Chain A
Amino acid sequence: NAGVTQTPKFQVLKTGQSMTLQCAQDMNHNSMYWYRQDPGMGLRLIYYSASEGTTDKGEVPNGYNVSRLNKREFSLRLESAAPSQTSVYFCASSEVYGGEYFSTDTQYFGPGTRLTVL
């Protein structure tokens, strides 16, 4: 049971290059998330997917696209990388329990991808 896995672990890009960060979970969770963490800061939500086939913008979606390929996999694409996208990217998954008013959401995180854009 690997939990949440991310590839690659490290990546260096030149400005304008594109790449896709991969994330997979084996916990059969419905919800998946992409966050970024800049040095000395907390995590900021880029996009999330509440269920297979749906995606929604988070706090900082500009410059990114996502694909929920199936229930297990959620990818993040940078079409034209910029130095401002240098960061550590974390993927997470969760199962949301509860109803419309009360719900709990315990997120499990992957090890992260360290991206540098030159």
Chain B
Amino acid sequence: DAKTTQPPSMDCAEGRAANLPCNHSTISGNEYVYWYRQIHSQGPQYIIHGLKNNETNEMASLIITEDRKSSTLILPHATLRDTAVYYCIVGLGQNFVFGPGTRLSVLP
């Protein structure tokens, strides 16, 4: 599975959009991009995934660049409850590699 690079931490003001970047320059043509988050020490929670088209669901939007070498997770209106570690994972499944992720702090 391809490796990903994420900033270790980010801050975002409550009510504003949080944009979390991820680099995955070695992604293969059939690998999906997945985003999970982990709030405090709970089990990771699935957010969204995509192949090459932009995706949106009730939680977030995923923007994947045309060359698929990077992506951005967008939380449109961040709340204090969105404070968590966000993991960007690229792979075929069955053997995900969770890196250290980005610690997002939503500030009041």
Chain A binding surface, main DSSP class: strand
B15-23, B58-66, B73-81, B88-96 - the one binding chain A:
B88-96
A112/B42 in contact, CB under 8 A: yes
A12-20, A73-81, A101-109 - the one binding chain B:
A101-109
In the bound complex, what is the Cα–Cα distance between A35 and B92 (angstroms)? 17
Chain B binding surface, main DSSP class: loop
Task: Using C-beta atoms within 8 Å of the partner chain, give the interface range for chain B.
Answer: 20 to 34
Query: For A101, what are the chain B residues with a Cβ–Cβ distance below 8 Å?
Result: 30
List 9 contacting pairs A-B, 8 Å CB cutoff, sorted by A: A4-B43, A42-B98, A43-B98, A88-B41, A104-B93, A106-B46, A107-B44, A109-B43, A109-B45
- A-side residues, CB < 8 A to B, are 4, 31, 35, 40-45, 48, 50, 58-59, 88, 90, 92, 94, 96, 101-112
